[in-house]
Amino acid sequence: MLTTIITSLILCAVEFLTIVLASPMAKPSLILHFLPEDIRAAAKDHPEPPKWKQMIAHILLAVFLLAFLGGIVFLGVDGLKHGYGFWKLTLRFILALYIIKLFDIVVQDQWLVMTSGFFQRIFQETKDCAGWRNRGFNNRNQLVRIVIYPFLCMLTAALFRWIGG
């Protein structure tokens, strides 16, 4: 269990760093997609950064995706190495994804987006938007993911059990 928690927290840190480093360099439409509707509308004409900065942002996003995939593979292979069956692997993946989701909701959505003003500094034209105070702006999306995760974890565990023999 400790391995699962540590791996999840490492992935959370990598995701947070990726967001903080890549967001100012990414194409605005990529970042705005994750923000409330009124903020998207206010920043729709925000200028794009130079292409070289966008490339760096995409490289950072690719590194994060590879790290995330690597973390899942590590948890699966480590679980198989320790003799985990289908249900124990499933619970391991559920724990990992729910730790990451909790971090996403509390740190990224509620603190980074809503409280810190990080994205308001990037998209200064949105400072007066009501969306910055709407703490439930993506509750539906979060709830859908929370409901889907156990099934995704069962599928992942089954895949590892099938591959691992």
Q: What is the pLDDT of residues 24-73, one digit of tens each?
A: 999 998 888 888 888 888 888 899 999 999 999 999 999 999 999 999 99
Residue 8: the pLDDT is: 96
User: For residue 130, is pLDDT > 90?
Assistant: no
Residue 69: the pLDDT is: 96
Please tell me the pTM assigned to this model: 0.87
Question: Using one digit for the tens of pLDDT, what is the confidence trace for 9-24?
Answer: 999 999 999 999 999 9
- 147 neighbors 57 (Cβ within 8 angstroms): no
Q: What mean pLDDT value characterizes the chain?
A: 92
Residue 86: the pLDDT is: 96
Ordered by start, the domain boundaries in the chain are 2-164
Contacts of 63 (CB under 8 A, 6+ apart): 14, 18
The model's confidence at residue 165, banded by pLDDT at 50, 70 and 90, is low
- 79 neighbors 89 (Cβ within 8 angstroms): yes
Least confident of 59-63, 82-86, 138-142: 138-142
Question: For 57, left (φ over 0), alpha (ψ -120 to 50), or beta?
Answer: alpha
